[in-house]
């Protein structure tokens, strides 16, 4: 039986990093694996108070707290940051077990150590990456929420996962009311159903659709919105998420309308000029040429004079029509468009 116990003890000692401290926490014994872990020789450790070595990287208050626990006869377990002889940092999972003598008095402490440096570093890297990701997400959300464009992100089924503040302002709903709703059941007001259906037909070959719509905002005022819908695809090429970006292009649209109106007005003026101005002028020029050639007889003078009068009246009427057209069509329309722009910008 003693042979079996000794063999079992030898097996434990040879495979586990062990150290023994006396009741005053002075090192009295260490095994080879403990020395290999700390890179100290046995004679450099034995006889030294563990608190005086650079072995343990711990505040004095924390060390005293552990000492208080084990001095009461209670075991302690935890992670300890340690330093090897060459200054390398390592993390050890440490178990400290009080050992009592026959009288029940604590005479030593058994320390069992496991090197968890690789796991600890990996966990720290993961936590740092997670914190960095959270900071990046916070910055991203800050940028997105302060965009002049309104934005939303949906999953492949059209369920809203995220909407920024501008999106909420345009619809007149808060984020909790919008997130979780479906763009099919609750689309942007005024968006035709056939356009919504096109969103779910996005593919890698056709990843984006866009159009311009006149949509009512939360105040019921119609504004021109340029919508760009882009699909986000997974590694298999399947639609994964849907990003919507809407931009108020009312000013641009009104400018286009104004320009179109100007073009229409110029064409109208050109038509009136070519038909109602050129004809009387051509007639008068012809009569002048006949006069130069003495081709008009005396008995025809009355008719020539009447032709001149008719041409002058037609020219006078044409100029009046042009003036009325400019005043009644061009200037009022420009003011009306400006008023509409001012309402939208307000």
Match 């005086």 to its residue by tokens: 52
pLDDT at 251: 81
- Token pair of 187 as six digits: 């689309």
Do 225 and 246 meet the contact criterion of CB atoms below 8 Å apart? yes
Q: What is the pTM of this model?
A: 0.42
Q: Which of 170-179, 219-228, 316-325, 329-338 has the lowest mean pLDDT?
A: 329-338
φ/ψ bin of 25: left (φ > 0), alpha (ψ from -120 to 50), beta (otherwise): left
- How far is residue 86's CA from residue 39's CA, in Å, rounded to a whole number? 7
CA nearest to 191, candidates 161, 170, 211: 211
Model confidence band, residue 343 (pLDDT cutoffs 50, 70, 90): very low
Mean pLDDT of 96-102: 89
CA 101 from chain center: how many Å?
A: 66
User: Does residue 165 or residue 341 have the better pLDDT?
Assistant: 165
Q: What is the rounded end-to-end Cα distance, in angstroms, of the chain?
A: 95
Provide the Cα torsion 314, 319, 321, 324; round to 10°: -160
Listing DSSP states for 288-310 in one string gives HHHHHTT-S-GGGHHHHHHHHHH
Do 224 and 198 meet the contact criterion of CB atoms below 8 Å apart? no
- Count of CB atoms within 10 A of residue 39's CB? 14
| CB proximity list for 10: less than 8 A, separation 6 or greater | none
pLDDT at 180: 92
Percent of the chain's residues with pLDDT above 70: 81
**pLDDT tens sequence across 208-265:** 999 999 999 889 899 988 899 999 898 888 998 998 888 888 887 777 777 777 667 7
pLDDT at 157: 92
Provide the Cα torsion 304, 308, 311, 317; round to 10°: -140
Mean pLDDT of the chain: 80
**pLDDT tens sequence across 131-175:** 665 565 555 555 455 567 888 889 999 999 888 888 888 989 998
**pLDDT tens sequence across 21-72:** 888 889 999 988 888 888 999 988 999 888 788 788 888 888 888 888 988 9
pLDDT at 12: 52
| CB proximity list for 225: less than 8 A, separation 6 or greater | 212, 213, 214, 215, 246, 247, 248, 249
- How deeply is 124 buried, as exposed, middle or buried, from its count of CB atoms within 10 A (0-12, 13-18, 19+)? exposed
């Amino acid at each position: 039986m003693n042979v079996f116990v000794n063999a079992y003890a030898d097996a434990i000692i040879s495979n586990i990093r062990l150290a023994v401290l006396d009741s005053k926490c002075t090192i009295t014994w260490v095994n080879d694996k403990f020395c290999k872990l700390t890179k100290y020789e046995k004679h450099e450790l034995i006889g030294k108070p563990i608190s005086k070595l650079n072995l343990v990287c711990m505040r004095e208050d924390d060390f005293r707290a552990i000492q208080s626990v084990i001095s009461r006869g209670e075991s302690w377990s935890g992670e300890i940051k340690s330093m090897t002889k060459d200054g390398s940092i390592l993390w050890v999972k440490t178990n400290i077990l009080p050992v009592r003598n026959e009288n029940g008095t604590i005479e030593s402490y058994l320390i069992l150590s496991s090197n968890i440096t690789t796991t600890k570093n990996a966990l720290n890297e993961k936590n740092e990456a997670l914190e960095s990701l959270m900071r990046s997400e916070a910055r991203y959300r800050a940028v997105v929420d302060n965009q002049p464009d309104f934005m939303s992100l949906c999953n492949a089924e059209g369920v809203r996962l995220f909407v920024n503040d501008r999106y909420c302002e345009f619809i007149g709903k808060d984020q909790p009311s919008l997130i979780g709703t479906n763009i099919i059941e609750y689309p942007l007001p005024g968006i035709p159903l056939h356009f919504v259906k096109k969103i779910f037909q996005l593919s890698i070959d056709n990843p984006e659709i866009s159009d311009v719509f006149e949509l009512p905002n939360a105040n019921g005022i119609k504004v021109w919105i340029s919508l760009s819908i882009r699909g986000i695809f997974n590694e298999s090429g399947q639609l994964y998420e849907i990003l919507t970006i809407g931009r108020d292009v009312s000013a641009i649209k009104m400018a286009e309308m104004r320009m179109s109106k100007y073009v229409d007005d110029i064409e109208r003026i050109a038509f009136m000029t070519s038909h109602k101005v050129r004809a009387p002028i051509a007639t008068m020029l012809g009569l002048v040429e006949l006069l130069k050639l003495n081709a008009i007889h005396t008995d025809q003078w009355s008719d020539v004079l009447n032709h001149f009068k008719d041409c002058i009246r037609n020219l006078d009427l044409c100029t009046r029509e042009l003036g009325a057209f400019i005043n009644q069509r061009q200037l009022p329309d420009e003011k009306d468009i400006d008023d509409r722009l001012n309402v939208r910008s307000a």
